[in-house]
Chains A and B, each alone.
Chain A
């Protein structure tokens, strides 16, 4: 538990909260200030908007503990506020509310619009109101109420410090003169480029839900030497970012793939079967793994085959196939997965190239993705793009 001290609606308040308690739960649950409403708890709907240190903020994604020492004002705390008095009257006259669920957040945002923006027009009001969702009114009454108060206060308003220019920008009518771009000294060229080249991965999705990626790596190495390396699974695994071999029994490999995507991480545990076709110089690794957190399974297959291109040059045809099953299967096609998988494949090939060239690949930098993250990508689209 954390002790916090806040000023809430002008009164000093101390309390003890769990670190995970968000500010809205603290205000509603511990202070009994139920005027602050919770709609989405994702920062999207705006119902929980209150003033934190004088600025509107989402109380559902602000931790109470992180607001220690702050000055908080909720819809219950505006009795003496002249702008809010006008807004209350205008909302009532213009039918700016029906069920009232969005109203506490609407009022706080409306007050910010009136006080902060320099006589906003209707378009600007709607723009600034876009972070507050109302399921009832269709916004017309709300916008009219705010416009009324903007008009009433315009005359008496002290000029703002820095005037806020209208949205959009004046396009210049004369284009810049033509010029030649200065040469840049770019230090970004990677290492290992000389010893192996990798084609851009090509991706397709099969009808039965398998995502298939193919790419070709070319290494300046004779085929036999390359074959030695590529049948040594722990070595190959070292080239795979985030992979770790925990046990090898015959053709069966136990391992773990740690995957990370932004702040989310997850571990897939699984087994791989190795099939080596020495004649065709081909290795197939197939396996399955599960992520306990999301209950999602991944089946995957990595195939690579070696072709001699010249005495000292070998081409490796690489194919990566994978399929997600479980709640997240439908997201296997998303662009984010495609981008991720193709980077993973390129990293793998790149590390392998460096290894073959005798360079130290160190701990292969973890390139990670989790199914939870996919879920985030999708939820983000659903929640934030509506």
Chain B
């Protein structure tokens, strides 16, 4: 199928994008790797699209002392190819390489992926684990929203009408950081059935275990994270119960997948 008729213009600046976005049924397009299929299926029928892929301010990559900040239009392939300074032991580069396929990664962007908020996507879970903060920009100015409050459910975010993601700030971890990431999917490059992710940084006394690819937003397992940091691999004995308590409505297959994904991710850090 072909998309409905719409107008298109590429925004050179963020202000230009915001002005155009105020029109009725206008949407932004970044890499088009999620929007493209939906346009072709006519599930999305915009009156106009504003292109962000080449907006200079959204392509910025900044390496400051405490954090790495990337513009929303930085592509998955740029993480994969090591063009983005590494904030946490190479985790982002590793994750990027497992997103979709190379021909999708060369165009798909981190901001587009977060705004799309597919529960099964990789960045939403990874950036929750890394405790990233998003800067959103609208006509009224900009505001910071932590990743834990940004995604509210499947395909639902804190973005208000007329607002875009401008940049993503990822805190730098200490030298002692360790991480694990495991996604279960039936074929390479497809969306996950379950994702287990964790970042353990004894230097910063930070430990966060996250369950991704649920029916909604990624779930931070706070209590379990605390136990894992204190007890190490021994905490694994409580994992199945934690998963069951967190997803009371999930079917047995899905529960098992989430448990296994988490266990394998954790074992990458705590061999047992």
B64 within 8 A of A: no
In the assembled complex, the CB of B74 is this many whole angstroms from the nearest CB of chain A, namely 14
Stretch among A171-179, A269-277, A302-310 lining the B interface: A171-179
Stretch among B13-21, B37-45, B65-73, B134-142 lining the A interface: B37-45
A302 to B155, CA, bound (A): 24
A261 within 8 A of B: yes
Contact flag A335-B215 (CB < 8 Å), given A2-B8, A42-B37, A385-B185: yes
A18 to B49, CA, bound (A): 13
B33 within 8 A of A: yes
In the assembled complex, the CB of A17 is this many whole angstroms from the nearest CB of chain B, namely 10
Contact flag A173-B271 (CB < 8 Å), given A180-B205, A188-B148, A385-B190: yes
Contact flag A340-B35 (CB < 8 Å), given A131-B103, A181-B225: no
A116 to B106, CA, bound (A): 13
Please, how many residues of chain A have a CB less than 8 angstroms from a CB on the other chain? 74
A60 within 8 A of B: yes
Name the residue of chain B whose CB is nearest to the CB of A48.
B103
* Chain B 194-239 interface residues, beta-carbon cutoff 8 Å to A: 200, 202, 204-207, 214-216, 225-226, 229-233
The residues of A that contact B62 with a CB separation of less than 8 Å are none
Name the residue of chain A whose CB is nearest to the CB of B227.
A181
Check if B269 sits within 8 Å of A176, measured CB to CB: yes
Check if A55 sits within 8 Å of B106, measured CB to CB: yes
Check if A384 sits within 8 Å of B190, measured CB to CB: yes
Stretch among A62-70, A225-233, A243-251, A318-326 lining the B interface: A62-70
The residues of A that contact B249 with a CB separation of less than 8 Å are 203, 335, 338
A256 within 8 A of B: no
Contact of B2 among A20, A42, A376 (CB under 8 A): A20
Contact of B233 among A19, A162, A175, A335 (CB under 8 A): A175
Check if B216 sits within 8 Å of A61, measured CB to CB: no
The residues of A that contact B32 with a CB separation of less than 8 Å are 61-63, 66
B53 within 8 A of A: yes
Contact of B268 among A132, A169, A261 (CB under 8 A): A169
> Can you list, as one digit per residue, whether each of A161-203 has a CB less than 8 Å from chain B (1) or not (0)?
0100001010111011111111000001000000000001001
A188 to B147, CA, bound (A): 11
The residues of A that contact B165 with a CB separation of less than 8 Å are none
Contact flag A178-B231 (CB < 8 Å), given A339-B216, A385-B191: yes
A386 to B186, CA, bound (A): 8
Check if B38 sits within 8 Å of A264, measured CB to CB: yes
* Chain B 152-187 interface residues, beta-carbon cutoff 8 Å to A: 152-156, 176, 178, 185-187
In the assembled complex, the CB of A384 is this many whole angstroms from the nearest CB of chain B, namely 5
A10 within 8 A of B: no
Name the residue of chain A whose CB is nearest to the CB of B268.
A171
Check if A130 sits within 8 Å of B40, measured CB to CB: no
> Can you list, as one digit per residue, whether each of A262-296 has a CB less than 8 Å from chain B (1) or not (0)?
11100000000000000000000000000001000
Check if B43 sits within 8 Å of A42, measured CB to CB: no
* Chain A 367-386 interface residues, beta-carbon cutoff 8 Å to B: 367-368, 372-373, 375-377, 379-381, 383-386
Contact of A340 among B29, B104, B153, B231 (CB under 8 A): B153
Check if B178 sits within 8 Å of A43, measured CB to CB: no
A367 to B32, CA, bound (A): 24
B59 within 8 A of A: no
A385 to B40, CA, bound (A): 18
In the assembled complex, the CB of B191 is this many whole angstroms from the nearest CB of chain A, namely 5
> Can you list, as one digit per residue, whether each of A11-39 has a CB less than 8 Å from chain B (1) or not (0)?
00000001110100100000000000000
A154 within 8 A of B: no
Name the residue of chain A whose CB is nearest to the CB of B1.
A41
Contact of A179 among B106, B229, B267 (CB under 8 A): B229
Name the residue of chain A whose CB is nearest to the CB of B181.
A169
The residues of B that contact A262 with a CB separation of less than 8 Å are 116-118, 155-156
Contact flag A109-B154 (CB < 8 Å), given A66-B8, A182-B204, A203-B249: no
Check if B107 sits within 8 Å of A57, measured CB to CB: yes
A328 within 8 A of B: no
The residues of A that contact B232 with a CB separation of less than 8 Å are 175-176, 178
Name the residue of chain A whose CB is nearest to the CB of B89.
A169
The residues of B that contact A179 with a CB separation of less than 8 Å are 202, 205, 207, 229-230
Name the residue of chain A whose CB is nearest to the CB of B155.
A262
Check if A66 sits within 8 Å of B178, measured CB to CB: no
Check if A172 sits within 8 Å of B269, measured CB to CB: yes
Check if B148 sits within 8 Å of A376, measured CB to CB: no
Check if B43 sits within 8 Å of A373, measured CB to CB: yes
Check if A264 sits within 8 Å of B153, measured CB to CB: no
Check if B37 sits within 8 Å of A383, measured CB to CB: yes
A127 within 8 A of B: yes
Q: Chain B: residues with CB nearer than 8 A to chain A?
A: 1-8, 10, 27, 29, 32-33, 35-41, 43-46, 49, 51, 53, 77, 81-82, 90, 94, 97, 100-104, 106-107, 116-119, 146, 148-149, 152-156, 176, 178, 185-191, 200, 202, 204-207, 214-216, 225-226, 229-233, 248-250, 254, 267-271
- If A179-B230, A384-B191, A386-B187 are given as contacts, then 18 extra A-B residue pairs at C-beta distance below 8 Å, sorted by A number, are A19-B49, A20-B3, A56-B106, A127-B188, A130-B187, A131-B104, A131-B189, A169-B90, A179-B207, A180-B230, A188-B149, A263-B38, A264-B43, A338-B215, A343-B152, A376-B38, A380-B118, A383-B37
Which 4 pairs, one residue from A and one from B, show the smallest C-beta to C-beta distance?
A: A131-B101, A61-B36, A335-B215, A262-B155
Q: 11 A-B residue contacts at CB 8 Å?
A: A42-B40, A58-B107, A132-B101, A175-B270, A176-B178, A180-B205, A188-B148, A336-B154, A380-B191, A384-B191, A386-B190
Q: Chain A: residues with CB nearer than 8 A to chain B?
A: 2, 18-20, 22, 25, 41-44, 46, 49, 52, 55-58, 60-63, 65-66, 68, 109, 112, 116, 127-128, 130-132, 162, 167, 169, 171-173, 175-182, 188, 200, 203, 261-264, 293, 335-336, 338-340, 343, 367-368, 372-373, 375-377, 379-381, 383-386
